[in-house]
């Protein structure tokens, strides 16, 4: 009897853990400044359509100046029939594949079905070689 209870509890834990796991996918792209880069990839119904990079007001040395310096703007759409949450991370690389900069952000709250969102991310600390980027990789994580 005790072994049946233990097996049942383990099964319940596995079901709960698998139901709360996030799905993660990524896509590599050629970097370009101040133009929309088509991505068109998705995870669990959240589609990331494109990304754009821009430097607002130059590269500042003060990391506390939010909204200034190198930024990424990611356009996403919920193409599923239920609300979803998502987060995005971006890494930029030079011609030799060396990591130059990275940032991450999440969409606040849930994205309703058929709703669009734009996530703005600022490269805060490691950003001095932003303009040397040749390629990038974006990671999309979705969860309920």
Q: Kindly list the domain boundaries of the chain, sorted by start residue.
A: 22-143
DSSP state of 96: T
- Residue 132 pLDDT more than 90? yes
Sign of CA dihedral 47, 50, 56, 60: positive
pTM summary value? 0.78
Q: Report the mean per-residue pLDDT for the chain.
A: 82
Sheet holding 23-30, edge to edge: 23-30, 135-143, 85-93, 99-106
Alpha-carbon distance of 102 to 92, in angstroms, equals 6
Encode pLDDT of 60-72 as tens digits. 555 555 556 799 9
| Predicted pLDDT at 89 | 95
User: Reduced to 3 states, what is the DSSP secondary structure of residue 94?
Assistant: coil
Sorting pLDDT into bands at 50, 70 and 90, what band is 9?
A: very low
Highest mean pLDDT of the ranges 6-15, 20-29, 80-89: 80-89
As a whole number, mean pLDDT of residues 109-129 equals 90
User: Which segment of 9-18, 22-31, 42-51, 117-126 scores lowest on mean pLDDT?
Assistant: 9-18
CATH number at 22-143 = 2.60.40.1620
Sheet holding 37-43, edge to edge: 37-43, 46-56, 69-78, 116-122
| Predicted pLDDT at 119 | 93
């Amino acid at each position: 009897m005790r072994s049946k209870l233990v097996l049942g509890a383990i099964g319940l834990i596995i079901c709960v853990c698998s139901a709360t796991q996030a799905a993660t996918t990524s896509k590599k792209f050629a970097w370009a400044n101040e133009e929309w880069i088509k991505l068109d990839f998705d995870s669990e119904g959240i589609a990331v359509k494109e990304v754009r990079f821009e430097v607002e007001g130059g590269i500042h040395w003060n990391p506390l100046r939010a909204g200034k310096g190198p930024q990424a703007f990611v356009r996403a759409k919920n193409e599923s029939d239920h609300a979803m949450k998502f987060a995005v991370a971006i890494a930029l690389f030079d011609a030799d594949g060396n990591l130059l900069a990275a940032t991450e952000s999440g969409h606040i709250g849930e994205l309703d079905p058929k709703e669009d969102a734009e996530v703005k991310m600022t490269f805060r600390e490691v950003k001095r070689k932003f303009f040397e980027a040749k390629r990038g990789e974006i990671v999309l994580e979705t969860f309920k």
